[in-house]
Structure 1
Amino acid sequence: MPFGLVVGMAADARGLSLLEALLMCGLVFAGTAQLVALQLWTDPAPILAATLAAFVINLRLAPMGAALAPVLDRVQGIRLWGSLAVLVDNSFALAIAEMRAGRRDAAFLAGASLTMWANWMVMCGVGHVFGAAVRLPPGHPVFFASVAALASILVPLWRGRADLLPWGLAGVLALAAHGLGLGPPWPVLIGALGGAAAGAAMDGRRARA
């Protein structure tokens, strides 16, 4: 809900109409990528830069889909590709929690994702209308809501101290890239690749032990 409100307000601040904002939210359905694209938005729109940024940020969905293979291995056709099309961080976190509890229901993933899509559309629309009425200045505390929403997703994924190194490394690398002046999407990409490499190395050592 807070993430959708922020994206709706950001879309209004960039001059998108309510219809344009809803079309973007409904077809893209990727909050982080949408925020980055809106940050890059100018007139004329930098289509290539925004596309590259969205592509790089959404690369994380490939390993997320692979991690859900135990849930999706018996699903084919439109059910498989439809579930992957609406997959987002929130539904991934819920599905992983279900897997760790021993439940592997593909319908749970699809239902959670579609429910979040419907909520996303409503909240983006409300955010757009709210932004048009209030016109909050850049840096207003309400814009922290998107960061808080992303941070909350990490809670069900936390497995204990074993996750501390890859998660910490990802954060340090992202902050270092930002400190070097690299703009979106490079801090996200560098942090994600570094953290993933560290996590894969640790898992490999545990498997050989």
Structure 2
Amino acid sequence: MKHGALAILPLAAGAAVYGFAFGLLAAQVGFPWWGVALMSGSIHAGSSQIVAVEQFAGTSAALGAALAGAALNLRYIGIVASLSEVLSGLSLRMKLLTIHITGDENWALTMAERAKNQEIGAGFLIGSGLVMITVWTVSTTLGAVTGSALPNLEQFGLGFAFTAAFIAMARGLWRGYANLIPWTVSFAVTIGAVSLDAPKAYAIVVGAVCGLVISHLITNRTRCTL
């Protein structure tokens, strides 16, 4: 666990920056600091949290926010499936805890380290995951506390912080040019749906589903040609 906790620190530092930005803007749109803390600790999914806060702030569309968050987190089905060997031997309770604290950063780091050394396993994943969820929860809460004490940040041109934080998270998900076509399709479909006056949350869902379909088709085609 100690190895994973130390190895993830550089990535945790980056997460703290956009976590603070998220908390700052969440407070500005009316979320209490304790609500941000509870969300970060229980959901632990930055992209979904940003979408949810934007939706609640703009339209209070709870169903749309939930669907958009679920669509953004569909990738975790594959992530959890890839951890079956790493999690083998753990009790059901520990498996559920480990899955909850697993995010893009510590999953990617664990798999990269495991490719070099097969002895890297659940301890590394848990240690790095505990650091990430702690840093994320603390940084978003500090941002929310700070944001609630500041005047309207739009006056200072900081209304872009949601977008900037989301872009930073998306950059961390980039796995190379194999993502280019699915991401482009998702982006185009989402923009098209919004331009047709569809609610943003539902536009995100449609775009995400289309991107997943294209990704699945590309993967199947690649396997067939091998």
Match of 2:153 among 131, 136, 142: 136
1:6 aligns with 2:21: yes
Residue in structure 1 matching 2:220, options 191, 204, 208: 204
- Describe the superposition over 1:21-60 as per-residue Cα deviations: whole angstroms up to 9, x where unpaired: 2222222222222222222226996544444443343333
The CA RMSD measured in Å over matched residues stands at 2.9
2:129 corresponding residue in structure 1: 113
Q: How far has the Cα of 1:203 moved from its partner? A: 2.4
Instruction: Tell me the TM-score normalised to structure 1 length.
Output: 0.79
1:130-169 mapped onto 2 (5 Å cutoff): 130-134=146-150, 135-137=152-154, 140-155=159-174, 157-158=175-176, 161-169=177-185
More off after superposition, 89-98 vs 40-49:
40-49
User: Are 2:191 and 1:175 equivalent residues in the alignment?
Assistant: yes
Q: Which has the larger displacement, 39-48 or 86-95?
A: 39-48
Q: Does 2:43 align with 1:28?
A: yes
SS at match of 2:211: helix
Could you tell me which amino acid in structure 2 is paired with residue 67 of structure 1?
A: S
1:185 aligns with 2:201: yes
Gaps of 5+ in 1: none
Q: Is the 8 A contact 1:3 1:31 kept in 2?
A: no
Are 2:74 and 1:55 equivalent residues in the alignment? no
Mapped partners of 1:28, 1:91: distance in 2: 16
Q: Secondary structure at the match of 1:41?
A: helix
TM-score by length of 2: 0.74
Q: Aligned partners of 2:160, 2:26: CA distance in 1, in Å?
A: 17
SS in 1 for 2:167: helix
Counterpart residue identity of residue 173, structure 2: L
* Rounded Cα–Cα distance in structure 2 between residues aligned with 1:70 and 1:152: 27
Give the paired residue count.
206
Identity level (%): 27
1:8 CA drift (Å): 1.2
